[in-house]
Structure 1
Amino acid sequence: MSVQPPEEDQPIHKKLFIQYLRLLRTYPIATKSITSGTVSSCANILAQKLMGGWDAPIAWRTIGAFAATGVFYTGPVTHHFYRWLERMVPGKDQGSKVMKVIVDRFVVAPPFLLGYFYLITMFEGKGHKASVDIIKHSYWTALKMNWKVWTILQYVNINYVPLQYRVLFASAVAFLWTIYLAIVRSR
């Protein structure tokens, strides 16, 4: 049996992770929301650089829109969704596991993605008409890709990741997904 060194003797990454877990326990929605906003904005920076080149100027308003959507939409909505899903479809048997994913993929994902596209465009200051136009041109393509990419990931997340870490798991995976969405929206 190994004994952990006192916290002050641990490397900085372990200290940060311990602090993150404390914040997750103490302020779960705020921590998940800030995590989501941070991941989303970092992914958007990378997406902008991949699309425009490393010397291209950064569209800070778009980064702010992705951050705001993560903080005010993705983080809190997914926090409450995972808790709601556990109450609505209790159980750990195979039927319950599959039903949870079906609810996520076909009941929650379509309106969630719709709201995501709408809010990012609104946070960019482009207005309702631009939001609707982006949805008309990007939504169906993004939803089909969402079903392809996220279905197995959500199966793992919903059924094997502890409830308090599901938003964190989804945020980690969403880093790449957000890059994809930023590219789809910009076309």
Structure 2
Amino acid sequence: MSLSKPTNIVYGLIGAYLQRLYTSPLKTKAITSCIIAALGNVVSQKLSGARQLNEDSVLAFALFGLFFGGPVPHYFHTYVPLLVRHPLGILLIERLIYMPCFQALALYMLAIFEGKPHRVASSQMQKLYLPTLMANLKYLTLFQYINIKYVPPMLRVLMVNLVGFAWVIYLANKRAKASKEK
């Protein structure tokens, strides 16, 4: 009997999430992305051995998730399947057009949200863009294909965010190393 309580809590949370996703998908995806991005950054800092949490970085990732990490993929996964039906076509558009632009936006806006001026944000983006782009293509293409082919459209942004949790850890580590080198 006591073992069923955690299960009921999990089912209740999943039910509440799906309800919110149905009634206000954009808001739900934005908030979910905000939380996952912030947690990913915290985990990244802890794994790298940071003695003190860089709150500016956590806030930057949270704001990026809220304003871009939830809404932009929401619209992408809503409208691109209306233009292209085949999963491989969607994957090609996602990998060759959407992802490189989104990656540049992410690197630039994270620096801006941390309070860095345009010149520094642009320089940091240029330095990190190609290595993160290549790593994204190398490591996340299969996950994206699975997401596009098998995950229901309503849950694709959540799946992107869950895979993105690991990606945020990778990206935060790359950015932290680049900041230390300066």
TM over 0.5: yes
Give the aligned length.
Answer: 173
> Structure 1 counterpart of 2:10, which letter?
H
1:74 corresponds in structure 2 to 69
Aligned to 1:103: 93
Corresponding residue to 1:122 among 112, 137, 141: 112
Q: Give the match for residue 180 of structure 2.
A: none
State the identity as a percent.
35
Matches within 5 A, 1:4-43: 11-43=8-40
Tell me the residue number matched to 1:84. Answer: 79
| In the alignment, structure 1 residue 48 sits paired with structure 2 residue 45 | yes
Report Cα offsets for 1:63-92 as digits up to 9, x if no partner: 0100000000010000000111111102xx
Post-superposition shift, 1:157?
0.5
Mapped to 1, the partners of 2:148 and 2:120 lie a distance apart of: 34
User: Counterpart amino acid of 2:154?
Assistant: Q
| C-alpha distance in 1 between matches for 2:23 and 2:156 | 16
Write the distance in 2 (CA, Å) between the matches of 1:129 and 1:163.
Answer: 38
CA distance in 1, matches of 2:23, 2:151: 19
In the TM superposition, structure 1's runs of 4+ consecutive aligned residues that sit over 6 Å from their partners are none
Residue identity in the other structure for 1:12: I
User: How far is the alpha carbon of 1:52 from its aligned partner?
Assistant: 2.9
Q: Counterpart of 1:34 in structure 2: which amino acid?
A: I
Q: Which amino acid aligns with 1:128?
A: H
1:133 aligns with 2:130: no
Residue in 1 that maps onto 2:53? 58
User: Which amino acid in structure 2 is aligned with residue 150 of structure 1?
Assistant: L
Equivalent-residue separation in structure 2 for 1:47 and 1:83 (angstroms)? 31
Gaps of 5+ in 2: 178-182
Task: Return the letter of the residue paired with 1:149.
Answer: Y
